[in-house]
Amino acid sequence: MSDTQVTKNDDRNRFEIHTDDGRLAGFTQYVAGDGVRDFVHTVVKDEFEGQGIGGKLARAALDQTRAEGLKVIATCPFIKGWIGKHPDYQDLLA
C-alpha cells in the first residue's frame, strides 16, 4: 500500500484517508457534541480493504480527537471494536 494521509473534513463532519495520489480510500463520519465526538459510521472502499486502511484511519481520527481534548462515543461498530483491541485508547470513551 502506498503512503496515506488522514485529514479532518469539517464541512462533512468526517475524517478522510487519501492515498498519496489523492484518491479517497475511506472515511469515518462523526457527530459533534458537547465535549464529545460520536463516531457513527466508517467506510473503507472495496479496493482498499485488507490493507490496514481502517486501522490507520481510526488511529489518526482518535489521536486528533484526543489532541482536541474530546471524549469519544463509539456508535460505529468498527471504531468500537478497534478501541476494544487497543487499550491505550479506551480512556477516550465517554
- For residue 13, what is the domain's CATH number? 3.40.630.30
pLDDT at 2: 63
Q: Determine, yes or no, domain membership for 94.
A: no
Residue-wise DSSP of 75-91:
-SHHHHHHHHH-GGGGG
Kindly give, in sequence order, each residue whose CB lies less than 8 Å from that of residue 42, ignoring residues fewer than 6 positions away. 26, 27, 28, 29, 54, 57, 58, 76, 78, 79
Q: Determine, yes or no, domain membership for 42.
A: yes
Q: Determine, yes or no, domain membership for 8.
A: yes
Beta bridge partners of 44: 26
pLDDT at 27: 99
The number of distinct structural domains making up the chain is: 1
Cell of 29: 463520519
Q: Determine, yes or no, domain membership for 14.
A: yes
Pick out the chain residues at pLDDT < 70.
1-2
The answer to whether the beta carbons of residues 39 and 27 sit under 8 Å apart is no
Residue 40 domain boundaries: 4-89
Read off the pTM.
0.94
